[in-house]
Structure 1
């Protein structure tokens, strides 16, 4: 039995707790939140009153004999908390982003290498049924060699989303906006199918919350990749200044067709076809955002399977390094105006 604690009793902490409660090999022993009443509520709801509530990770780790922790806190807490647990040999499963700076990422890397605990990053959309279907179609050669890709994330976030949180909208606590917070998963999938960029050029703006938040509400990036004789090109666009939360759109273009992922639908159009192939994913059991979907359940199950069997977790720190580095490259290009 793996004894775990959940740190951060907000919306995403609820998703983690709901999944953990149903895992036979896991027992939730403790909850921590700076608002102790929220930790107490989570204990009542997800541990049948048997868990203990704490106001800090320090107190939780000191008083509990835990095998693992789930970090569901604001971005700036991710690395300090993960490093603290890893130094004690505790397994860590943490929400995105893995870090908000290159220095933080290196700290996390060092702690992970020197720890007896396993580290997993919640890039759950790698586990979505739609993601697997796109990969399957690409591997079958349905569109031939990949020539390019595009991704669009057009969502809606107004001022209260930032100002009422206590940490969102500030560079020192959130790290970034439309890219780091809202669309890092879309970037991750685009890179999963296209590979490593050799050129990145980007720009960002704050259109509708200027003077209210420090982070960007809109970002666009151009990327070139080395695949075959001609460079593969990609366009990436993310904004939180739209009027609602539209389904994410990712399209992969090949020599003989394209594959488009939009919400819960995958469309494949091959050259010469009069009708496209359309596939829709079944609805998951765990609550997720309707405009994107949720692979949290499969991701968390896989993490504990790897903990118990010793297999390499597909969402370990090394596996998310390309996405993190590219995200930072995009920000640095947007800030400097250089490629």
Structure 2
């Protein structure tokens, strides 16, 4: 799905790390959009990315948004810079498309919501896994009522992050700059999908641990949560970055008639004895084969997520994934951390 846009839209990226490579590649595929400038405090990194797209390189974010006529800013920086940079851009009338997480805590979320409310500009978020083929197929199943009522669900993320991932970054592994570990950085997309299917979260109880990087990082490498949603729906969530490799996340829904498992690109239906059901019609109209941009286990929804945001901007429609659409996920993420740190169940 590639947007067709008549007028040239000037985009910018701040933060030229690995995820910026995905954003810039997506921007380059959009008709009527150009990557005008990029910014990173490491000059070489900014200049390399700028050179790929004939963009202008900056090392000062403030200078870039002051000098350049930018319509849309992609924020791909470390977590602690997300909200301050979004506030600054929104205050200048620049539209913002932000990488996860939208905020590290409640105070940041409230600031971000206030900034978006005051600005006439659009604030959107990159929750690209909502656009994964497996997610879309499962949503179609639910829309047609094929699995029946959702009773509960679970999310499992098993990834690998070694000490170098943290120590070489300059910001990961610190509560002050990352805000957390396995949940906020790696598994928030899976928590988002669990909530997308299960509904409004009401309560959360959780435990977290640092199993394999004690003395190296301040954040968790394991988070486990028990979540109670509206309508007596329950959710179980498990994420670890202490596994030996990176496996595709699993979202599994227990429904009245069957179990539905989502593994990024695939949606599989099972009976309650674990046998795969091969006679379930899964609507796939309009679902094209997609390829992952970046690491395969990041999903295959980046292009559609970014395109959707730009199309809404051009057509003056509501932002598809804005501050309202991520509220339940962010409220739940913050509650899970509060529960794990306090040892008490948190009411959301």
TM-score bucket of the superposed structures, by smaller chain:
over 0.9
Distance 1:31 1:145, change over 3 A: same
1:287 aligns to 2:293 (yes or no):
yes
Q: Does 1:70 align with 2:74?
A: yes
Quote how far apart the aligned CAs of 1:264 are: 2.1
2:311 counterpart of 1:305: yes
What corresponds to 2:65 in structure 1? 61
Superposition deviation, residue 116 in structure 1: 1.8
Q: Secondary structure at the match of 1:42?
A: helix
**SS of alignment partner, residue 166 of structure 1:** coil
CA displacement at 1:222 relative to structure 2? 0.4
* 1:273 to partner: Cα distance: 11
2:21 corresponds to 1:14 = yes
- For 2:339 and 2:274, the matched residues in 1 are separated by 40
Q: Quick one: which of 161, 164, 167 aligns to 1:160?
A: 164
- Cα RMSD, aligned residues only: 1.8
TM-score, scaled to structure 2: 0.92
> What is residue 318 of structure 1 aligned with on the other side?
324
Corresponding residue number in structure 2 for 1:26: 33
Aligned equivalents of 2:294, 2:144: Cα separation in 1: 29
Match of 1:245 in 2: 246
Q: Give matches, 1:219-234, under 5 Å.
A: 219-227=223-231, 231-234=232-235
Would you say the 8 A contact 2:293–2:302 is kept in 1? Answer: no
Q: TM-score, normalised by structure 1?
A: 0.94
Deviation at 1:247, TM superposition (A): 1.2
How many residues align structurally? 333
1:83 — aligned with what? 87
Match of 2:154 in 1: 150
Aligned equivalents of 1:125, 1:160: Cα separation in 2: 26
Check whether the contact 2:14–2:38 (CA below 8 A) recurs between aligned residues. Answer: yes
**Counterpart residue number, 1:133:** 137
Tell me how far apart the structure 2 counterparts of residues 335 and 273 of structure 1 sit (CA, whole Å).
36
**Runs of 5+ consecutive residues of structure 1 not aligned to the other structure:** none
The answer on whether the counterparts of 1:18 and 1:46 sit within 8 Å (CA) in structure 2 is no
After superposition, the C-alpha distances for 1:145-182 in whole angstroms (9 at most, x for unaligned) are 11110110010001000000000000000001010000
What's the CA shift string for 1:1-24, capped at 9, x where partnerless? 111111111110111011111211
SS in 2 for 1:156: coil
**C-alpha displacement at 1:282, in angstroms?**
6.4
Find the residue that maps to 1:319 and give its secondary structure.
coil
